[in-house]
Homo-oligomer: A and B are copies of this chain.
Amino acid sequence: MPPEPSSERRSERARRAVLDAVYELATSKGYAKLTIEAIASRAGVGKPTIYRWWSCKGAVALDALDERLGAASDLPDTGDVAADLAAQITSVTAMLTGDLGRVYRGIIGEAQSDPELMETVREIIVDPRVRVCRERLDRAVAAGQLRADVPTAVMVDLFYAPVYYRFLMGFDDADVERSGDLVREVLRGLSTST
Contacts and interface: CB of A to CB of B under 8 A. Distances in A.
Contacts of A164: 161, 164-165, 168-169
23 contacts: A30-B113, A32-B113, A105-B112, A106-B112, A106-B113, A109-B110, A109-B111, A111-B170, A121-B169, A121-B170, A126-B169, A150-B185, A154-B185, A157-B182, A158-B158, A158-B162, A161-B161, A161-B164, A164-B168, A164-B169, A185-B190, A186-B186, A188-B189
Q: How many copies of the chain does the oligomer comprise? A: 2
Interface of A: 30-32, 105-106, 108-113, 115, 118-119, 121-122, 126, 150, 154, 157-158, 160-162, 164-166, 168-170, 182, 185-190, 194
Contacts of A110: 109, 112
A35 to B, nearest CB: 14
A113 B103 CA distance: 10
Contacts of A115: 170
Nearest to A149: B185
